[in-house]
Amino acid sequence: MKENYCLQAALVCLSMLWHSQAFALERRSHLRPSFHGHHEKGKEGQVLQRSKRGWVWNQFFVIEEYTGPDPVLVGRLHSDIDSGDGNIKYILSGEGAGTIFVIDDKSGNIHATKTLDREERAQYTLMAQAVDRDTNRPLEPPSEFIVKVQDINDNPPEFLHETYHANVPERSNVGTSVIQVTASDADDPTYGNSAKLVYSILEGQPYFSVEAQTGIIRTALPNMDREAKEEYHVVIQAKDMGGHMGGLSGTTKVTITLTDVNDNPPKFPQSVYQMSVSEAAVPGEEVGRVKAKDPDIGENGLVTYNIVDGDGMELFEITTDYETQEGVVKLKKPVDFETKRAYSLKVEAANVHIDPKFISNGPFKDTVTVKIAVEDADEPPMFLAPSYIHEVQENAAAGTVVGRVHAKDADAANSPIRYSIDRHTDLDRFFTINPEDGFIKTTKPLDREETPWLNISVFAAEIHNRHQEAKVPVAIRVLDVNDNAPKFAAPYEGFICESDQTKPLSNQPIVTISADDKDDTANGPRFIFSLPPEIIHNPNFTVRDNRDNTAGVYARRGGFSRQKQDLYLLPIVISDGGIPPMSSTNTLTIKVCGCDVNGALLSCNAEAYILNAGLSTGALIAILACIVILLVIVVLFVTLRRQKKEPLIVFEEEDVRENIITYDDEGGGEEDTEAFDIATLQNPDGINGFIPRKDIKPEYQYMPRPGLRPAPNSVDVDDFINTRIQEADNDPTAPPYDSIQIYGYEGRGSVAGSLSTLESATTDSDLDYDYLQNWGPRFKKLADLYGSKDTFDDDS
């Protein structure tokens, strides 16, 4: 590295020397006196002479980063009219003039006094002019020129990022593009090779390579396996000067991660799994777990499990736990130790997602054998049937056998069984069971019409282990016997119109009746209807059986009259078809009613003929309502007449002076001049006479004294009030316009206490009135009055 810097310094010196000589030669060859006369007439006939500038240039060059002890010579300005006698003065202006660039005003030499950096500023624009030293008169027009900073290779290449991260699939082909890195050089790309970059790889071989011109990183080895190594660290170098010796360089780090592909099949770590399950296990219970390992990750490592063979395929099942990637073997159906004690399964594990590119790597699945042993358990007894149905005749005597339930112990011990009835299902205790053999018997006669079916539950428990028990439902059907006679299906009632003897009989039945039997259909219909034998020849009515479990009642004669008999009771015998048959006698009520010409019923009451001459029910109700209304009106009238108005009486013991007058207005104190009118105290009504008191009768007339007149508004209020008080005291007939109200008591519990000054004038008060200072301006006078008094007492 030191050798590179020494070589670079030597090149800079040689370049500066060559440029200085070239500039001097160029300036000497062009800046020679070349003024040519040219005459031109002015407006006043004066001949003006315009001289042509004899010095020509456009740009100078200076090397950047010069660190010599003396200022570097940029160039020299020289005019053709400069004879070397020192009369010409050269002036430099523009960018950096006087600070970066200085000129010798005699010789025209321009020097750079500071180190220049092309990367900061590539060129400077200056203005040169030759003037007379004594008069500062311009001898030539000013001329603009450019000083360009000549680039050297002083900036190393820099990458856009200090570190890069890239991904590439594992097992990618050689030359697969991974990422492109880019570096930049601040040097002038148009001058030399200072900015010409070449990329190379310093670390990461032989796995990766980089293109020298583009910076594209590519894979260099085939079949890189993520499972073997997942992450690689690569160092890339960018070097200027086309990569030649002496060039500057920069580096960056690239972290390359191999992404996963499904290139590995799942594999079971063992060939056989041993499991066990209790015969008491219920379906759905977990038996065990198997797991096939797949080094792939993500969806490439997903595995699903299936049972493909074995003698336990019907009893067991397997599901996939995708969180742990395990196969969960579960019980599908109950197993029995006494029936079979071991099962074998063949479980297959396969990838869910298969990449066709790697199908040649082999089948992406694996199989394993799972052996399951059934463990013996103390099982509860087992009934021979899942449920039982028994029958018993109703009304059977207590102790009649209904049926039997049977259970056995499936264990090898074959423990004895004890039976019992669940009394929650037999609250009325209709049945009992033999605890040893399971025979069920009745405890009382049963009635099918009340309960046709009875459902109970029977327990079977091992004698040596009562906790091991089984339960079975038993349904008992109560068989019907013909123990209920048929009855009318409804409370029937017949009606017949009264008529004369000459009117022909109607063929329509008076009423059609049917029967109902609580017994079963086998002991119920068909029903037979008839009249009792003693009235089989009833002269009024007869019964005709319709042979469809109904019968019609007909009249045998006409001429029924309500005045003679308005009600008939007809007994009817109903028999069922049971064995033996049951029968009952039911009474049918037949009423004689009045009908219109069309046979429609009008009235069935015997009193109808008696009430024809009187009033109807509606008329009686209307009359009664009118009477009630009149009574209500009379009662209201009498009540209003008895009411009297109470007179407003002023009792003599009432004292007007004790009346309390409430004003909701709060006065403003002595400062309020508009709160009251003094004229109200002057008693304007009594100016021309006196007003007699209204509460008492005066004994004599009191004439007002002529000297007592209403005082003008300007009179002293104290004198006026005293005069009025004296007048009122001496006049017993004057109304009490002025009265003294006592407010000495503010009530118990008052926080403020009493504000009255009437009592305080005659008694000594020890109250502290300092709080009046906090009550605002309206109590200022009162606060000052009591405060000054306290102050006076304190002073005294």
Q: Tell me how far CA of residue 260 lies from CA of 171, 299, 373, 474, in angstroms.
A: 9, 10, 40, 65
Point out the domain boundary residue: 119, 150, 181.
150
Q: Is there a domain that residue 37 lies in?
A: no
Q: Tell me how far CA of residue 346 lies from CA of 53, 266, 333, 541, in angstroms.
A: 109, 16, 18, 92
Give the DSSP letter string of 205-221.
Answer: TTTEEE-TTT-EEEE-S
Q: Is there a domain that residue 676 lies in?
A: no
- Cβ atoms of 130 and 139 within 8 Å: the answer is yes
- Is there a single domain that holds both residue 290 and residue 353? yes
Predicted local confidence at residue 181, as pLDDT: 95
CB crowding 511-536: b at 16 or more within 10 Å, else e: bebbbebbbbeebbbebbbebeeeee
Predicted local confidence at residue 136, as pLDDT: 86
Predicted local confidence at residue 233, as pLDDT: 95
CB atoms closer than 10 angstroms to residue 759: 13
Which amino acid type is present at position 152? I
Q: Is there a domain that residue 15 lies in?
A: no
- Is there a single domain that holds both residue 209 and residue 297? no
In the block, tokens 């049963």 appear at 446
- Is there a single domain that holds both residue 110 and residue 134? yes
Whether the model clears a pTM of 0.75, i.e. scores above it, the answer is: no
Q: Is there a domain that residue 128 lies in?
A: yes
**Neighbouring residues of 400: CB distance < 8 A, sequence distance ≥ 6:** 392, 393, 441, 442
**655 backbone dihedrals φ, ψ, rounded to 5°:** -105, 120
Domain residues for 229? 158-259
Predicted local confidence at residue 596, as pLDDT: 83
317, β-bridge pairs: 330
Point out the domain boundary residue: 457, 479, 501.
479
- Is there a single domain that holds both residue 398 and residue 357? no
Q: Is there a domain that residue 307 lies in?
A: yes
Residue 422 maps to which CATH number?
2.60.40.60
- Is there a single domain that holds both residue 127 and residue 189? no
CB atoms closer than 10 angstroms to residue 217: 26
Q: Distance between CA 604 and CA 578 in Å, rounded? A: 40
- Is there a single domain that holds both residue 367 and residue 281? yes
Largest CA distance in the chain: 185
Structural domains counted in the chain:
5
Q: Give pLDDT < 70 ranges for the chain.
A: 1-59, 412-413, 500-505, 606-616, 643-715, 733-768, 787-796
Q: Distance between CA 737 and CA 685 in Å, rounded? A: 11
Long-range contacts of 280-286 (CB under 8 A, 24+ apart): 280/377, 280/378, 280/379, 281/331, 281/334, 281/335, 282/331, 282/334, 283/331, 283/332, 283/333, 283/334, 284/330, 284/331, 285/330, 285/331, 286/328, 286/329, 286/330, 286/331
3-state SS of 667-704 is CCHHHCCCCCCHHHHHCHHHCCCCCCCCCCCCCCCCCC
- Is there a single domain that holds both residue 231 and residue 288? no
Point out the domain boundary residue: 479, 496, 519.
479
- Is there a single domain that holds both residue 394 and residue 443? yes
391, β-bridge pairs: 477
- Span 240-262, pLDDT tens digits: 888 888 788 999 999 999 999 98
- Is there a single domain that holds both residue 68 and residue 104? yes
In the block, tokens 């002038």 appear at 188
Q: Is there a domain that residue 645 lies in?
A: no
Q: Is there a domain that residue 699 lies in?
A: no
Q: Is there a domain that residue 638 lies in?
A: no
Handedness of CA 272, 274, 277, 279 (dihedral sign): positive
CB crowding 631-662: b at 16 or more within 10 Å, else e: eeeeeeeeeeeeeeeeeeeeeeeeeeeeeeee
Predicted local confidence at residue 457, as pLDDT: 95
Predicted local confidence at residue 78, as pLDDT: 79
Predicted local confidence at residue 39, as pLDDT: 32
- Is there a single domain that holds both residue 442 and residue 523? no
Structure tokens at 597: 């010409």
- Is there a single domain that holds both residue 165 and residue 249? yes
- Is there a single domain that holds both residue 181 and residue 215? yes
- Cβ atoms of 493 and 511 within 8 Å: the answer is yes
In the block, tokens 């065990």 appear at 288
